[in-house]
Chain A
Amino acid sequence: MHELAVTQSILDISLRHAKDAGAMQIKGINLVIGEFASIVDDSVQFYWDTLAEGTIAQGAQLHFERIAGEMTCSNCKDSFHPKDIDFACPTCGSQFVRITKGDEFRVDSIDVE
């Protein structure tokens, strides 16, 4: 539900780095977003079209690399995709598990001209 604020941040970061690189135009934004980051791609793209208007990022394509959530068992070291009904390890049944992937939430790079 906070896609507007997030989109504004993505735009600010992209414009700042484009300026530093002396770019004329931003063609693409490459985002890395983990499963646990609650963001809807379509909404970000929607806000983007409005927010980026009149900037050198107007018309830029947003690319979302989605990282699946992952838990790792402290007992048997197996990694698995978390199920939301129970966090137990599907291999050995242990409840000593930790989240190891899915928190990513960054602007990885931009493609500029």
Chain B
Amino acid sequence: MTVRVPIVENILNANDRLAEENRTCLESAGVFSINIMASPGAGKTSLIEQTLPRLKGKLRVAVVDGDIATSIDADRAAQAGAQAAIQVNTGGDCHLDAVMLRGALEQLDLTQFDLLIVENVGNLVCPASFKLGTDKSVLIASIPEGDDKPYKYPGMYRGVDALVINKIDLLPYVPFKMDYFERGVEVLNPGVVTFPLSAKTGEGMDAWIDWLLGQVKSKR
């Protein structure tokens, strides 16, 4: 005889629980952490490269870089002044998950850092589903991707705590209706804090850095 056993459990429950453990671990070391997500080439590493020199002497920063292969991005972060840069190769996976971040955290003496920046795998879908246990998640949208992305990738826009709009130096050259873009964002994530900037020219970086410093400070 077949019987039905009720369960009602979120499918990614195991990942969520591990993410909570990561959070506790970072919390007890006093580290503020962000998870940067974006499509490939949106400028995640470029933003990190622009950010690190501006935090020099203020914060001790560790960077964890997720990529399907290569250590190019971690090398760039180290070059830009990260006190530690760890590459996590996901072996084909389209996102970082809480297990992978834990593996990276185990390689770090967390008491030596104030800020952990995680660069997720370039992907506008999957990383949104896998919590890592970081304090805040940040999405980078970039101008050449087009203004319709909130409508096409709502999942990614909904869960984030901050939105960086990168490559604003390209606004004169690419059709991008900012009000159409912002309307989609507002529906999905009302009132989310937004930073239009260029990781190439540095324009708009100050507001982003102020926000980061403020977040780290309020954590202490």
Contacts and interface: CB of A to CB of B under 8 A. Distances in A.
Contacts of A112: 2-5
B155 A36 contact: yes
B5 A110 contact: yes
Contacts of B14: 9, 12-13
B187 A6 contact: no
Nearest to B1: A113
A109 interface: yes
B156 to A, nearest CB: 10
Given A13-B13, A106-B9, 9 more contacts: A1-B126, A12-B14, A31-B11, A87-B188, A95-B187, A106-B7, A106-B10, A107-B11, A113-B1
Interface of A: 1-2, 5-6, 9-10, 12-14, 17-18, 21, 23, 27-28, 30-31, 36-38, 71, 82, 84-87, 95, 97-99, 105-113
Interface of B: 1-15, 93-95, 97, 123, 125-126, 129-130, 148, 151-152, 154-155, 158, 183-184, 186-188
B9 A2 contact: no
Contacts of A14: 7
Given A84-B152, A111-B4, A13 B93 contact: no
A12 to B, nearest CB: 6
B1 A109 contact: no
B177 to A, nearest CB: 12
A47 B126 CA distance: 18
Contacts of B1: 113
Contact of B5 (A10, A23, A87, A99): A23
Given A5-B97, A38-B125, A84-B151, A108 B7 contact: yes
Nearest to A44: B11
A98 B187 contact: yes
A109 B6 CA distance: 4
Contacts of B8: 106-109
Contacts of A109: 4-8
Contacts of A2: 93-95, 126, 129-130
Nearest to A82: B154
